[in-house]
Amino acid sequence: MTDVSEWLKVESLDLEAQGVAHNSEGKVVFIEGALPGEEVQVSVGRKKNNWEQAALVAMRRESSQRVRPVCPHFGLHAGACGGCKMQHLHPAAQVAVKQRVLEDNLWHLGKVKAEQLLRPIEGPATGYRYRARLSVRYVPKKGHVLVGFHERKSRYIADMQVCKVLPEKVSAMLMPLRELIGAMEARDRLPQIELAIGNVDGTEVIALVLRHLEPLSAGDADKLRAFGAEHGVQWWLQPKGPETVHLLDHGGAELAYTLPEFGIVMPFKPTDFTQVNHHINTVLVGRALRLLAVEEGDRVIDWFCGLGNFTLPLATRAREVLGIEGSEALVQRSRENAVRNGLDHKASFVARNLFEMTPQLLVADGESDRWLVDPPREGAFALVKALADIEQDPSLAPGWTPPKRIVYVSCNPATLARDAGLLVNVAGYRCTNAGAVNMFPHTAHVESIAVFER
């Protein structure tokens, strides 16, 4: 048993940003708040046969990578915000941890080793969250409202007064939002505010989507309007599911983001999936296209295309691009965005259930020289399995030629590794490059990009 008397040497950091050590009995100990290289004493809270969960009690050797957290609500104390997990670790070291997580997953889960590691994509470590889902709770006993992320390992909402990962203007709005909700008649029936920020030519549009469980009174709607006018925000209302989201008042600036390298303007609705970090997304799209090395005569397929984040930039380089997405509504939005950017003659879109892909369905969409794959956390298993099946049994697709290069953008290193294992060990590809993308600084979230060639 590990107790306060034993000093432990922290060896590494796990994906939940816990220090990993071994005690004198050889048992793994996960230590919240500890960093690699540190020597610590701990208090064990949870014991299993081959591991223990512990809290940091004392330290006699501190990591050179330990830094002062930028946010007063970060930490291990009661009530600490659970939105970030790594603020005590230098941002550059966070990226190194995520790169190692990517490499370890590729090897241990997929038996794949990239021939070359890409330089990680990094950006601002604060003020980067252009999307966020803030919980709202009226607390009658205390007579006030909480707006923010949940506490660490808790369903309670943290008592946040600022947030360093939200843009400064939005962080400064947290307390006024609490006052606004507290003054509304429906204050106990407003569970969530979703944030989405657009930026076109330096003009920022801040959209707030208010989830309300009953129709708003005229007085409450007027309070929202007054707040919007004072703070420069655009209110959207969500009475039921995401499909019911609508503007409180029509008019106002369009919600959109840009990809300046490609001359693309991408309008979106505040509940559409767009990347949280616009700075990183801009760099990521550019790198993905350079790695794909698209030529003028190429036909490209963009799997899990969403709103066309990669499809439309690809259409500025390739002869033809097909974007494939599971949602018919998103496909329609993609078509509108292609028209908006004058690329509808080169970019087309279809809806497919990409989690039920077969060799026959794969072949039906025709041959393409290159693929861009950008799946959700579940990965693209059915897609790459169909490709692997054709490699193992060419009679499934007579005369069909697989893509010569695939760029895979991932938000889950475990499912990337699983899919990479199929591509490399069964489907006849090499993993030529892989690298981390720090889309979510201070969190344990690992985004990455990998390149596969036949």
- Residue 374 among known ligand-binding residues: yes
Task: Report the alpha-carbon angle 410-413-415, nearest 5.
Answer: 80
Is the distance from CB of 228 to CB of 235 less than 8 angstroms?
yes
Beta-carbon-side half-sphere exposure of residue 413 (alpha carbons within 13 Å): 25
- Residue 281 among known ligand-binding residues: no
- Residue 309 among known ligand-binding residues: yes
Among residues 284, 411, 420, 422, the one annotated as catalytic is 411
| Residue 305 is among the residues annotated as catalytic for this protein | no
What is the secondary structure of 243-294 as a DSSP string? GG-EESSS-SPPPEEEEGGGTEEEE--TTS---S-HHHHHHHHHHHHHHHT-
- Residue 305 among known ligand-binding residues: no
- Residue 163 among known ligand-binding residues: yes
Among 423, 413, 357, smallest CA distance to 388 is for 423
| Rounded distance between C-alpha atoms, residue 75 and residue 83, angstroms | 11
| Rounded distance between C-alpha atoms, residue 305 and residue 291, angstroms | 17
- Residue 431 among known ligand-binding residues: no
- Residue 275 among known ligand-binding residues: yes
- Residue 81 among known ligand-binding residues: yes
Token reading at 195: 């944030």
- Residue 32 among known ligand-binding residues: no
- Residue 84 among known ligand-binding residues: yes
Among 186, 234, 239, 185, smallest CA distance to 211 is for 239
**Inter-CA distances, 350 with 169, 285, 355, 416, 420, Å:** 39, 21, 15, 24, 25
Q: Which residues contact 123 (CB under 8 A, 6 or more apart)?
A: 277, 279, 280, 283, 438, 441
Binding residues: 71, 81, 84, 163, 275, 304, 309, 325, 353, 374
Kindly list the catalytic residues. 411
Binding residues for S-adenosyl-L-methionine: 275, 304, 309, 325, 353, 374
Binding residues for [4Fe-4S] cluster: 71, 81, 84, 163
